[in-house]
Amino acid sequence: MHALQKPIQVAILALALCALTMATASADAEKARLRNELGITYAKDGHLDDALRYFSLILAEHPENPAALNNSANVYFVQGETERARKLYERAIHTEPQEGGIHLNLGILLHAIGEEQASAARVRRGLELIGDPHQAYYLLGLSTQPPSSNSRAADASDLQAAEIEELLARAMAEIPAAAKAQQATQAGAEQGVQTAQATPAAAEKSASESQKVSTRPGGAKASKVDPDVVADRLFWMSVPKNP
């Protein structure tokens, strides 16, 4: 009887350690999921620095987490840091090559910086992976209803250039470069200074107009893209719940 006790105890200890490891991994994955969702929420509300903070917490523990990489890239893209965003999209694709939404995001970025040929190829790949242009439109917020089960599946050979161009044009229509918005803000500030030097009444009017810009719906700062655009025109990747 005593001869059997040690193997049994070892087996029980091994099972306990295995269960503890699985529980720890599960809790860790859930923590990453919640941080990611918080980051997305902050980004959609226009609090981009807060969003990055949560995505960075995930990446500090899981440097190749595809959702955190993609979502961080989205924020940098909106802030006008296109090269940094591009590198993060590429890392996300390397980690999760079958996620079509990341390919679409990178395609939109390439379109924004004028690399049209590479952009079309990347969007085509995204559409191939997603399997249906209607689903791609839905992922990018270009339609409000998910595609029905009977919507046509897109074969790679059926993806016409016109479809790719339409997807890009519609996705990009409301994503101005952050740099452009910043230039407009700076120009407005300079004009305000000139107006202030003209007359006190004109200065007061200029200040009023400036306040309207800085407190437009959504609470976005004038130097950043409207948070509704962030929410509706880029694919935000979620971390799935553990089964």
CA distance 132 to 146: 11
State whether 112 and 62 are in the same domain.
Answer: yes
Same-domain check for residues 207 and 111 = no
pTM of the model: 0.69
Q: What is the mean pLDDT of the chain?
A: 75
Asked whether residue 73 falls in the same domain as residue 118, the answer is yes
pLDDT surpassing 70 at residue 127: yes
Best CA proximity match to 124, nearest among 149, 141, 146, 106: 106
For residue 111, with 0-12 CB atoms within 10 Å meaning exposed, 13-18 middle and 19 or more buried, which class applies?
buried
What's residue 165's pLDDT? 85
Candidate from 23-27, 29-33, 57-61, 153-157 with smallest mean pLDDT: 153-157
**Structural domain contains residue 89:** yes
Q: Which residues contact 233 (CB under 8 A, 6 or more apart)?
A: 108, 140, 141, 142, 171, 172, 174, 175
- State how far the alpha carbon of 53 is from the alpha carbons of 30, 129, 137, 187, in Å: 17, 30, 29, 30
* Placement of tokens 């993609």 in the chain: 70
Mean pLDDT comparison of 52-56, 124-128, 146-150, highest-scoring range: 52-56
Question: Across residues 23-33, what is the average pLDDT?
Answer: 77
166 and 190 part of one domain: no
In this structure, are 126 and 201 located in the same domain? no
Is 40 inside any structural domain? yes
Residue 202 sits in the same domain as residue 136:
no
Per-residue pLDDT, averaged over 96-101, amounts to 96
Residue with tokens 């040690």: 6
* pLDDT at residue 225 in the model: 47
In this structure, are residues 61 and 55 in contact, taking their beta carbons and an 8 Å threshold? no
Judgement on whether residues 65 and 94 belong to the same structural domain of the protein: yes
* Residues 157 and 73 both lie in one domain: yes
> Is 1 within a domain?
no
pLDDT band at 109 (very low <50, low <70, confident <90, very high): very high
> Does 13 map to a domain?
no
Burial code (b: 16+ CB inside 10 Å, e: under 16) for 118-129 equals ebbebbbbbbeb
Q: How confident is the model at residue 5 (pLDDT cuts 50, 70, 90)?
A: low
pLDDT over 70 (residue 235): yes
Q: In which domain, by residue range, is 203 found?
A: 183-214
The number of domains in the chain is 2
